[in-house]
Amino acid sequence: MKPFAVRATPWVLLAGGAIGLLASFVLTIEKFRLLKDFSYNPTCSINPVLSCGSIMKTPQAELFGFPNPLLGIAGFGVVVTTGVVLLGGARLPRWYWLGLQIGSALGVVFVHWLMIQSLYVIGALCPYCMVVWAVTIAVFWYTTLHNLHKGPEVRAAIRYHSVVLVVWYAAITVAVLQAFWSYWTTLV
């Protein structure tokens, strides 16, 4: 029998993909509204730190010449479909899994670049973007575990699959706290 982490992969892909797709869709709508009216205040602009609007107006929000959330709509659409197909009992060929690995690896690199830009260049956080960060990391991690689960060198990673995610998310939380420490301390 496959390890739990590998059996959970279809569910992670379905749930993570659906959440990421929804967040990307909302971000796309917000971006289009902002493009129509530059004074529009997006629903995710809550305070000076949690401010989608200030992020959406930067060049980083359109790295490839179009709004970044469009990448999320396409990518998470594939992830959701993969989860559904797997839950339906399909066995996908190795080339497909390698393609999903490459896509999720590119996604995780891209969201980490966006994290650095948000924390240390732009100086603001987008709540919907942070949701995308979280699900992209989970999709990447569980896709990696699925692809490597037969190797003896990954037994510990599979056994402690959730610990890796907790540590990863904790490191991001520490980075967020550190980057905006002066703001957070004014709230207490």
Domain with residue 125: its CATH number is: 1.20.1440.130
Q: Which of 108, 86, 122 is CA-nearest to residue 172?
A: 108
- Checking if the pLDDT of 178 tops 90, the result is yes
Scored b (16 or more CB within 10 A) or e, 47-86 reads eeebbbbbbbeeebbeeeeebbbbbbbebbebbbebbebb
Predicted model pTM: 0.93
Helix (H, G, I), strand (E, B) or coil at 133: helix
Q: Mean pLDDT over residues 130-153, rounded?
A: 90
Q: Phi/psi class of residue 65: alpha, beta or left (left: φ > 0; alpha: ψ in -120 to 50)?
A: left
Q: Is 118 in contact with 129 (CB distance < 8 Å)?
A: yes
Q: What is the pLDDT of residue 156?
A: 74
Q: What is the pLDDT of residue 184?
A: 79
- Checking if the pLDDT of 180 tops 80, the result is yes
Q: What is the pLDDT of residue 105?
A: 98
Largest CA distance in the chain: 56
- Checking if the pLDDT of 160 tops 90, the result is no
100-109, pLDDT tens digit by residue? 999 999 999 9
Q: How many domains does the chain have?
A: 1
- Checking if the pLDDT of 151 tops 80, the result is no
89-99, pLDDT tens digit by residue? 999 999 999 99
Helix (H, G, I), strand (E, B) or coil at 51: strand
Give the structural domain span for 113.
4-186
- Checking if the pLDDT of 81 tops 90, the result is yes
Grade residue 22 by pLDDT with cuts at 50, 70 and 90: very high
Q: Mean pLDDT over residues 170-185, rounded?
A: 92
Q: What is the pLDDT of residue 188?
A: 73
- Distance, in Å, from the CA atom of 157 to the CA atom of 146, rounded to the nearest integer, reads 11
Grade residue 23 by pLDDT with cuts at 50, 70 and 90: very high
